A and B are shown apart, each in its own frame.
Chain A
Amino acid sequence: MKTLITALLVLAAGSAHALNAAEYQSGLAAAAKSAEPGFAGFSAQRGENFYRSTHGGDWSCATCHTDNPAASGTHTVTKKTVKPLAPAANPARFTDVDKIDKWFKRNCNDVLKRACTPREQGDFIAYLLTVK
Protein backbone atom coordinates (compact mmCIF):
# COMPACT_ATOMS: atom_id res chain seq x y z
CA MET A 1 0.00 0.00 0.00
CA LYS A 2 2.78 2.38 0.90
CA THR A 3 4.42 1.59 -2.42
CA LEU A 4 1.20 2.35 -4.27
CA ILE A 5 0.84 5.70 -2.51
CA THR A 6 4.43 6.58 -3.32
CA ALA A 7 3.85 5.61 -6.93
CA LEU A 8 0.72 7.78 -7.10
CA LEU A 9 2.56 10.71 -5.52
CA VAL A 10 5.37 10.40 -8.04
CA LEU A 11 2.83 10.31 -10.88
CA ALA A 12 1.00 13.34 -9.51
CA ALA A 13 4.23 15.30 -9.11
CA GLY A 14 5.19 14.38 -12.67
CA SER A 15 1.89 15.44 -14.19
CA ALA A 16 1.99 18.81 -12.43
CA HIS A 17 4.84 19.78 -14.77
CA ALA A 18 3.49 18.13 -17.91
CA LEU A 19 2.90 20.61 -20.69
CA ASN A 20 0.82 20.45 -23.82
CA ALA A 21 0.63 22.50 -26.99
CA ALA A 22 -2.44 24.49 -25.93
CA GLU A 23 -0.83 25.48 -22.62
CA TYR A 24 2.37 26.54 -24.32
CA GLN A 25 0.27 28.51 -26.80
CA SER A 26 -1.55 30.40 -24.05
CA GLY A 27 1.82 31.62 -22.80
CA LEU A 28 2.55 32.86 -26.31
CA ALA A 29 -0.74 34.80 -26.38
CA ALA A 30 0.42 37.05 -23.54
CA ALA A 31 3.73 37.67 -25.32
CA ALA A 32 1.96 38.35 -28.64
CA LYS A 33 -0.37 40.85 -26.96
CA SER A 34 2.50 42.84 -25.51
CA ALA A 35 4.43 42.73 -28.81
CA GLU A 36 1.45 43.73 -30.99
CA PRO A 37 -1.17 46.02 -29.46
CA GLY A 38 -3.69 45.01 -32.17
CA PHE A 39 -3.27 41.27 -31.54
CA ALA A 40 -6.66 39.55 -31.81
CA GLY A 41 -5.94 35.89 -31.25
CA PHE A 42 -4.08 33.18 -33.15
CA SER A 43 -5.15 31.93 -36.56
CA ALA A 44 -4.80 28.36 -37.80
CA GLN A 45 -5.09 29.62 -41.38
CA ARG A 46 -2.17 32.02 -40.93
CA GLY A 47 -0.30 29.19 -39.24
CA GLU A 48 -0.84 26.89 -42.21
CA ASN A 49 0.34 29.56 -44.66
CA PHE A 50 3.40 30.07 -42.46
CA TYR A 51 4.05 26.31 -42.34
CA ARG A 52 3.99 25.99 -46.15
CA SER A 53 5.91 29.18 -47.01
CA THR A 54 9.63 29.19 -47.76
CA HIS A 55 9.80 32.78 -46.44
CA GLY A 56 12.11 33.79 -49.27
CA GLY A 57 14.64 31.01 -48.59
CA ASP A 58 15.10 27.41 -49.70
CA TRP A 59 13.19 25.60 -46.99
CA SER A 60 9.73 25.66 -45.47
CA CYS A 61 8.58 23.79 -42.35
CA ALA A 62 7.07 21.27 -44.79
CA THR A 63 10.48 20.55 -46.35
CA CYS A 64 11.32 18.25 -43.44
CA HIS A 65 7.94 17.84 -41.72
CA THR A 66 6.15 17.10 -45.07
CA ASP A 67 2.92 18.64 -46.38
CA ASN A 68 1.07 16.70 -43.69
CA PRO A 69 2.33 17.44 -40.14
CA ALA A 70 0.67 14.21 -38.97
CA ALA A 71 3.05 12.18 -41.14
CA SER A 72 6.66 11.22 -40.53
CA GLY A 73 9.14 13.31 -42.48
CA THR A 74 12.75 13.14 -43.53
CA HIS A 75 15.54 15.53 -42.58
CA THR A 76 16.41 17.18 -45.88
CA VAL A 77 20.17 17.09 -45.26
CA THR A 78 20.77 13.87 -43.32
CA LYS A 79 17.74 11.81 -44.52
CA LYS A 80 17.01 10.74 -40.94
CA THR A 81 13.35 10.16 -40.07
CA VAL A 82 11.56 13.06 -38.39
CA LYS A 83 8.65 11.94 -36.23
CA PRO A 84 5.23 13.57 -36.79
CA LEU A 85 4.90 17.15 -35.55
CA ALA A 86 1.14 17.32 -34.96
CA PRO A 87 0.29 16.46 -31.34
CA ALA A 88 -2.65 14.35 -32.55
CA ALA A 89 -0.20 12.05 -34.31
CA ASN A 90 2.66 12.33 -31.80
CA PRO A 91 1.58 13.09 -28.21
CA ALA A 92 5.21 13.69 -27.15
CA ARG A 93 5.30 16.94 -29.13
CA PHE A 94 5.07 20.24 -27.20
CA THR A 95 5.40 18.56 -23.79
CA ASP A 96 8.86 19.88 -22.85
CA VAL A 97 9.41 23.62 -22.77
CA ASP A 98 13.19 23.37 -23.24
CA LYS A 99 12.71 21.22 -26.32
CA ILE A 100 10.06 23.53 -27.77
CA ASP A 101 12.25 26.61 -27.28
CA LYS A 102 15.31 24.83 -28.66
CA TRP A 103 13.61 23.69 -31.86
CA PHE A 104 11.77 26.96 -32.51
CA LYS A 105 15.09 28.79 -32.23
CA ARG A 106 16.92 26.37 -34.51
CA ASN A 107 14.25 25.86 -37.14
CA CYS A 108 13.18 29.50 -37.34
CA ASN A 109 16.84 30.35 -38.01
CA ASP A 110 17.02 27.61 -40.63
CA VAL A 111 13.85 28.59 -42.47
CA LEU A 112 13.39 32.33 -41.81
CA LYS A 113 16.98 33.35 -40.95
CA ARG A 114 15.62 35.03 -37.83
CA ALA A 115 13.71 34.26 -34.64
CA CYS A 116 9.96 33.69 -34.99
CA THR A 117 7.59 36.12 -33.27
CA PRO A 118 5.23 34.91 -30.52
CA ARG A 119 2.31 35.41 -32.94
CA GLU A 120 3.95 33.28 -35.61
CA GLN A 121 4.63 30.54 -33.06
CA GLY A 122 1.06 30.68 -31.74
CA ASP A 123 -0.42 30.60 -35.26
CA PHE A 124 1.82 27.65 -36.09
CA ILE A 125 0.58 25.72 -33.06
CA ALA A 126 -3.03 26.70 -33.85
CA TYR A 127 -2.58 25.09 -37.26
CA LEU A 128 -0.93 21.97 -35.84
CA LEU A 129 -3.81 21.54 -33.40
CA THR A 130 -6.29 21.43 -36.31
CA VAL A 131 -4.38 18.52 -37.89
CA LYS A 132 -5.95 15.23 -36.90
Chain B
Amino acid sequence: MKTLLTALLIAASAPALAGDHAYGPFPANYVSECGSCHVAFPPQLLTAPDWQAMMNALDKHYGVDAGLEAKPRAAIADFLQKNASRRDKHASTVQAPRLTQTVWFRKEHGNLPAKATKTLPAAAQCESCHTAAERGDYNESGLKLPAGFRHKER
Protein backbone atom coordinates (compact mmCIF):
# COMPACT_ATOMS: atom_id res chain seq x y z
CA MET B 1 0.00 0.00 0.00
CA LYS B 2 2.76 2.39 0.92
CA THR B 3 4.49 1.66 -2.39
CA LEU B 4 1.27 2.33 -4.27
CA LEU B 5 0.79 5.59 -2.43
CA THR B 6 4.36 6.65 -3.18
CA ALA B 7 3.86 5.73 -6.84
CA LEU B 8 0.67 7.79 -6.99
CA LEU B 9 2.37 10.75 -5.34
CA ILE B 10 5.19 10.60 -7.86
CA ALA B 11 2.71 10.34 -10.73
CA ALA B 12 0.73 13.30 -9.38
CA SER B 13 3.80 15.49 -9.02
CA ALA B 14 5.26 14.43 -12.37
CA PRO B 15 3.94 17.34 -14.46
CA ALA B 16 5.97 19.74 -12.34
CA LEU B 17 9.26 17.95 -13.01
CA ALA B 18 11.56 19.24 -15.72
CA GLY B 19 12.25 17.06 -18.70
CA ASP B 20 9.00 15.13 -18.66
CA HIS B 21 7.57 16.89 -21.72
CA ALA B 22 4.70 18.62 -19.88
CA TYR B 23 5.11 22.29 -20.80
CA GLY B 24 1.56 23.55 -20.31
CA PRO B 25 -1.09 24.45 -19.67
CA PHE B 26 -0.53 27.91 -21.11
CA PRO B 27 -2.40 31.15 -20.30
CA ALA B 28 -5.59 31.75 -22.29
CA ASN B 29 -4.24 34.85 -24.07
CA TYR B 30 -1.16 32.95 -25.23
CA VAL B 31 -3.28 30.12 -26.62
CA SER B 32 -5.74 32.43 -28.35
CA GLU B 33 -3.13 34.77 -29.86
CA CYS B 34 -0.36 32.30 -30.67
CA GLY B 35 -2.41 29.15 -31.08
CA SER B 36 -4.88 30.17 -33.76
CA CYS B 37 -2.70 29.61 -36.85
CA HIS B 38 -0.44 26.96 -35.35
CA VAL B 39 -0.35 25.05 -32.10
CA ALA B 40 0.72 27.30 -29.20
CA PHE B 41 4.38 26.29 -29.02
CA PRO B 42 6.03 25.66 -25.63
CA PRO B 43 7.91 28.85 -24.64
CA GLN B 44 10.51 26.58 -22.99
CA LEU B 45 11.79 25.48 -26.41
CA LEU B 46 13.50 28.71 -27.47
CA THR B 47 15.73 31.16 -25.63
CA ALA B 48 14.71 34.62 -24.42
CA PRO B 49 16.65 36.44 -27.20
CA ASP B 50 14.97 34.18 -29.79
CA TRP B 51 11.49 35.00 -28.51
CA GLN B 52 12.37 38.67 -28.35
CA ALA B 53 13.52 38.67 -31.97
CA MET B 54 10.32 36.90 -32.99
CA MET B 55 8.07 39.27 -31.06
CA ASN B 56 9.85 42.26 -32.62
CA ALA B 57 8.98 41.05 -36.14
CA LEU B 58 5.39 39.83 -35.82
CA ASP B 59 4.29 41.79 -38.89
CA LYS B 60 6.60 39.56 -40.94
CA HIS B 61 6.10 36.21 -39.25
CA TYR B 62 7.38 33.43 -41.54
CA GLY B 63 5.59 34.81 -44.58
CA VAL B 64 2.42 36.08 -42.92
CA ASP B 65 1.38 39.13 -40.91
CA ALA B 66 0.84 38.08 -37.28
CA GLY B 67 0.89 41.65 -35.97
CA LEU B 68 -0.60 42.40 -32.56
CA GLU B 69 -1.67 45.59 -30.82
CA ALA B 70 0.85 46.89 -28.26
CA LYS B 71 -0.99 45.72 -25.15
CA PRO B 72 -1.58 42.02 -25.98
CA ARG B 73 1.86 41.95 -27.58
CA ALA B 74 3.55 43.12 -24.38
CA ALA B 75 1.67 40.57 -22.25
CA ILE B 76 2.72 37.71 -24.50
CA ALA B 77 6.30 38.92 -24.81
CA ASP B 78 6.47 38.98 -21.01
CA PHE B 79 5.11 35.42 -20.71
CA LEU B 80 7.65 34.20 -23.29
CA GLN B 81 10.58 35.95 -21.57
CA LYS B 82 9.65 34.48 -18.19
CA ASN B 83 9.32 30.94 -19.52
CA ALA B 84 12.08 30.87 -22.12
CA SER B 85 14.88 28.31 -22.00
CA ARG B 86 18.29 29.30 -20.66
CA ARG B 87 20.07 26.42 -22.38
CA ASP B 88 22.19 26.74 -25.51
CA LYS B 89 20.65 23.60 -26.98
CA HIS B 90 17.35 25.49 -27.26
CA ALA B 91 18.88 28.45 -29.12
CA SER B 92 17.77 28.81 -32.73
CA THR B 93 20.54 28.01 -35.21
CA VAL B 94 18.88 30.11 -37.93
CA GLN B 95 18.47 33.87 -37.96
CA ALA B 96 14.68 34.19 -37.97
CA PRO B 97 14.27 32.04 -34.84
CA ARG B 98 12.61 28.67 -35.27
CA LEU B 99 12.14 26.20 -32.44
CA THR B 100 12.37 23.43 -35.04
CA GLN B 101 15.94 24.59 -35.74
CA THR B 102 17.70 24.08 -32.42
CA VAL B 103 20.30 21.48 -31.48
CA TRP B 104 17.79 19.88 -29.11
CA PHE B 105 14.92 19.75 -31.60
CA ARG B 106 16.99 18.26 -34.41
CA LYS B 107 18.39 15.61 -32.08
CA GLU B 108 14.90 14.59 -30.95
CA HIS B 109 13.04 14.76 -34.25
CA GLY B 110 15.01 12.65 -36.70
CA ASN B 111 13.94 13.02 -40.30
CA LEU B 112 11.01 15.42 -39.85
CA PRO B 113 11.09 17.87 -42.80
CA ALA B 114 10.59 21.64 -42.71
CA LYS B 115 7.66 21.26 -45.11
CA ALA B 116 5.14 18.43 -44.96
CA THR B 117 5.60 15.54 -47.39
CA LYS B 118 3.18 12.77 -48.35
CA THR B 119 4.29 10.64 -45.40
CA LEU B 120 5.58 13.16 -42.86
CA PRO B 121 4.15 16.29 -41.26
CA ALA B 122 6.23 19.47 -41.15
CA ALA B 123 8.42 19.70 -38.06
CA ALA B 124 6.32 22.59 -36.69
CA GLN B 125 3.05 20.60 -36.87
CA CYS B 126 3.56 19.31 -33.32
CA GLU B 127 -0.04 18.22 -32.91
CA SER B 128 0.11 15.67 -35.72
CA CYS B 129 2.31 13.37 -33.58
CA HIS B 130 2.01 14.86 -30.07
CA THR B 131 -1.73 14.39 -29.84
CA ALA B 132 -2.13 16.49 -26.67
CA ALA B 133 0.11 19.34 -27.88
CA GLU B 134 -2.80 21.79 -27.75
CA ARG B 135 -2.58 21.57 -23.94
CA GLY B 136 1.22 21.77 -23.89
CA ASP B 137 1.38 18.05 -23.08
CA TYR B 138 4.15 16.30 -25.05
CA ASN B 139 4.32 13.13 -22.98
CA GLU B 140 5.26 10.02 -24.89
CA SER B 141 2.02 8.28 -23.93
CA GLY B 142 0.24 10.64 -26.32
CA LEU B 143 2.75 10.15 -29.11
CA LYS B 144 1.54 8.84 -32.48
CA LEU B 145 4.47 8.45 -34.87
CA PRO B 146 3.88 8.49 -38.64
CA ALA B 147 5.08 5.43 -40.56
CA GLY B 148 7.78 7.39 -42.37
CA PHE B 149 9.42 8.73 -39.20
CA ARG B 150 13.01 7.73 -38.50
CA HIS B 151 14.93 8.81 -35.40
CA LYS B 152 18.14 9.17 -37.42
CA GLU B 153 18.08 12.05 -39.83
CA ARG B 154 19.49 10.05 -42.74
Residues in chain A within 8 A of chain B (CB atoms): 75, 77-80, 98, 102, 105-107, 109-110
Q: Decide yes or no whether B129 CB sits under 8 A from chain A.
A: no
Contact status A80-B38, CB under 8 Å: yes
Known contacts A80-B36, A80-B37; can you find 16 more A-B pairs with CB under 8 A? A75-B38, A77-B37, A77-B63, A77-B64, A78-B122, A79-B116, A79-B125, A80-B39, A102-B68, A102-B69, A106-B66, A106-B67, A107-B65, A109-B65, A109-B67, A110-B64
Query: In the complex, A17 Cα to B122 Cα: how many Å?
Result: 41
Contact status B65-A105, CB under 8 Å: yes
Sample (28) of A-B pairs whose CB atoms are under 8 Å apart: A75-B37, A75-B38, A77-B37, A77-B62, A77-B63, A77-B64, A78-B37, A78-B38, A78-B125, A79-B116, A79-B121, A79-B122, A79-B125, A80-B36, A80-B37, A80-B127, A98-B69, A102-B68, A102-B69, A105-B65, A105-B67, A106-B64, A106-B65, A106-B66, A107-B65, A109-B59, A109-B67, A110-B64
Query: In the complex, A110 Cα to B63 Cα: how many Å?
Result: 8
Chain B contact surface mostly? loop
Chain A contact surface mostly? helix
Query: Whole-angstrom distance from the CB of B119 to the nearest CB of chain A?
Result: 14
Residues in chain B within 8 A of chain A (CB atoms): 36-39, 59, 62-69, 116, 121-122, 124-125, 127
- Please, which residues of chain A bring their CB within 8 A of the CB of B63? 77
Who on chain A is nearest to B61 by CB? Answer: A106
Who on chain B is nearest to A58 by CB? Answer: B63
Query: Whole-angstrom distance from the CB of B17 to the nearest CB of chain A?
Result: 30
Query: In the complex, A74 Cα to B41 Cα: how many Å?
Result: 19
- Please, which residues of chain A bring their CB within 8 A of the CB of B116? 79
- Please, which residues of chain B bring their CB within 8 A of the CB of A110? 64-65
**Which of A78, A98, A105 is close to B124, meaning CB atoms less than 8 Å apart?**
A78
Query: In the complex, A110 Cα to B59 Cα: how many Å?
Result: 10
Query: In the complex, A109 Cα to B63 Cα: how many Å?
Result: 10
Query: In the complex, A106 Cα to B60 Cα: how many Å?
Result: 10
- Please, which residues of chain A bring their CB within 8 A of the CB of B38? 75, 78, 80
